[in-house]
Amino acid sequence: MVHITSPLKRPLLLSAFLGLAGCATTVDGPAQAIPGPPALNDSNVFCEASRTELVIPVGGAFAEGSLVKDFYTGNTARVRDGQVRMTPDDNAEGLLLLEPVDETVHAFTWAGATVYFAVTDRFANGRTDNDINYGRQKDGKDEIGTFHGGDFAGLTQKLDYLADLGVNALWITPPFEQMHGWVGGGDRGDFRHYGYHGYYALDFTVPDANFGTREEFRTLVQQAHQRGIRVVMDVVMNHPGYSSLQDMQTFNFGALHSGFEKHLPEHWGDWRPESWENHHAYHALIDYDHADWRNWWGKDWVRAGIADYDTPPSASVDPVRGSLAFLPDFKTESTNPVELPVFLRNKESSRAEHLDNATVREYLITWLTDWVREFGVDGFRVDTAKHVEPDAWRELKARAQEALDDYRERHPDTALPSEEFWMVAEVFPHSVRKTGYFDAGFDAVINFDLQAEAKAGARCLQAMEPVYREYADKLHGDDPFNVLSYISSHDTKLFAQIAGDDNTLKKRAAAALLFTPGAVQLFYGDESGRAFGPTGSDPHQGTRSAMNWQAIEAGEVSDILNHWRTLGQFRQRHPAIGAGEHKLISQQPYVFSRQHGDDTVVIAFGSGN
C-alpha cells in the first residue's frame, strides 16, 4: 500500500551460520541437531569469499560417479566418494551452483517463482510524448511525488532485461487512471503528490494516460508472455483515490466555500500555497458539507466523513470498515445495489457501464477482472487485503479464474504461460505462517520478515541457514502454503539503504534472497544497487526513486548486476530452489541441497582465503 498522512480535520479527501573453522564439517544427523549460527541480527559477522578449491560433499543429492556442473563457471566435476572438488569463480562470492549435466527443462511453479516488482512510473520511459496529462505538472524541485514518465512502452522495452535476470513474473503497480490533480504529500505537506504509484484510482476501467494506452498494455502482456514472463497486476478494492482541486473542477463534484473561487487560478490544479502555507492549505477553500459531493463517489459507495457520507472508524478499530490513511473506504461489504457514481456516468473516457442490481463489490470485481478477460493478465497482487472482507477476495479469485479461462479459450494460439490465476495478498506485517487468507482465495501472502534477516545473510550466507530451514519446514509441512519474500519494497525500505555504501553487500544480497524457499520478489533496482531518492516528510517516497539505467548502461554496477543475473538464471532453471525441500549437507563449507520432484541442486558457499 502507498499512502500519505495528514493531521487535518477533514482527512478523507486529504493529500494523502557462520560454520566451524577448519575442515569440512558434514551434517549427518537431523536438522534439529545442527549447531546454531550467530544471531541473525549480528550484522558484524562477515565471511570472506573463498577463491581456492573446495571439497564439496553432495549428501547423496547426486549419484556416485555422476557428472555435475557449476552453473557460475560452466566447469564440471565427477562425484567421487560423495564429493566434488571445484573452485568458485573469482566473481562468485564463494558460491558454487551445482546441477546435473543435462538439458532438462523443469516446469514453472508459482511456489518457486521469481517476481520482479516495478513501479511503472519510475521504471522506464518508453514514450516521452505521454509524460504530461490531465494538467499535471513537474514541481521543478525534487519531483518527489510527481510523474516521472515511466510507462507500459518502457516496461515492454525492458522485457529482455528482465528475462536475462531470470524473472518469470512481472508485478506492476495499478495501471488505472489516477486522480488528475495533486494532494499534499507527507505529514508536512511539503510536496505535491500525484497518484504516480497507481494507488489513488479515479477510474478502474481505463489506463492512466501517463502509463499509456490499452493497446500498449496489451502489447506489454503479449510480449511478456512470449518470453515466459507472467504479468501480475496490482489491484485495490479497499479504496479509491483522494479528491483533489483539479478533479473537483474537471468532474464538477464538491464545492468551494462561497466566494473562494477568486483565490484559485483558472486551472485549479495550478494552485500553489503561499510562503507561509504548506500543500495542505487548499482544504480551507473547500466546503466539505456541500450537497454537491453527491456527484463524486456518493454515500452508497464510500465512507468518507463529508457531507452526508458515513464517517468511517479508524482502521485500527475496524480493519474492514475503517479508513486507511484517511482514504475513502469502499463499502464492499454492502448488499445494497448501487448506481454508477455520477462523475463516472458523465466521464466520456470511462468504460464503466451500469450493472443491473450490482453492489459496490460486484462493480469493483467486474472492473478488475475485465483486465484479465481482455488482456490475459496472469495474477493479482492485492493491496491492503486485511481491510476487505474475505468473501470479497474469494469472489474476486473465482471471477478472475473465469476471466482467464475465457481469455485462453479465445486465444488458443497465443503464448499463455498461466492456466491457474494467481493471487498474493499484502497483509502487513504477515510472516511465514498459514493463516485464513489462504482460505480466502490467496495462493500466497507477502512475507515481511526476510528484509530484516537478509543483511546478516549478505555478510555471511551461513547466517541464512536457520531462516532457510524454518521457511522450508513450514512451507512443506503437513499443510503446505507459499509466501512471497523480499529484501526491498516501496512501503518499507530499500536493501541499498541497509547496505549503505557497501557494494559487496548489495551483490551478496542476491544469494540471501534468491536462495530463499518460496516465491521471491525483486524490487526494481535490487539487482543494480538503485539508491534511495528524495523523500520529503514521507519516509517511503525515496524507495521509489528512478531506476538507475544510466549507471547500468555506463557499466558502473556491472559486478553487482552480472552476479544477480547468474543467480537469477540458476533459480529460473531450477524451481527446486524455491519450491523444493531444503537439506543442510555441510556447515563448513556451507552446503545445502534443494529437491523438487526430479529437480535437484546443490549450493555451496566457501569462506576463507
- Residue pair 415/231 in contact (Cβ under 8 Å)? The answer is no
Cis peptide before 589 (omega within 30 of 0): yes
- Residue pair 393/368 in contact (Cβ under 8 Å)? The answer is no
Phi-psi region of 305 (alpha: psi -120 to 50; beta: other; left: phi over 0): left
Burial (CB count within 10 angstroms: exposed 0-12, middle 13-18, buried 19+), residue 123:
buried
Residue 528: other Cβ atoms inside 10 A: 21
Q: How far apart are CA 361 and CA 395, in angstroms?
A: 9
**Torsion angle, alpha carbons of 592, 597, 599, 600, to 10:** 20
Pairing mode, if any, of strands 230-235 and 590-596? unpaired
Is residue 426 annotated as a catalytic residue, yes or no?
yes
- CA within 13 Å, CB half, 223: 18
Report the Cα 441 to chain-centroid distance in Å: 19
- CA within 13 Å, CB half, 485: 29
SS percent in the chain: helix, strand, coil, step 5: 30, 20, 50
SS3 category, 50: coil
Residue 170's contacts (CB-CB under 8 Å, 6 or more residues apart) are 115, 116, 118, 155, 159, 162, 224, 229, 230, 231, 232
Residue 12's contacts (CB-CB under 8 Å, 6 or more residues apart) are 242, 303, 304, 305, 306, 312, 323, 326, 327, 328
247, 426, 443, 526: the catalytic one is 426
**Nearest in space to 583 (alpha carbons), one of 597, 567, 600:** 600
DSSP assignment of 412-462 equals TTS----SS-EEEE--TT--SS--GGGGTT-SEEEE-SHHHHHHHHHH-GG
Is residue 90 annotated as a catalytic residue, yes or no?
no
Residue that has been written with the C-alpha cell 479515479 in this structure: 202
Cis peptide before 429 (omega within 30 of 0): yes
**Nearest in space to 567 (alpha carbons), one of 94, 45, 63:** 94
121, 216, 234, 383: the catalytic one is 383
Q: How far apart are CA 40 and CA 169, in angstroms?
A: 30
**Nearest in space to 198 (alpha carbons), one of 183, 189, 211:** 211
Supply the residues annotated as catalytic. Answer: 383, 426
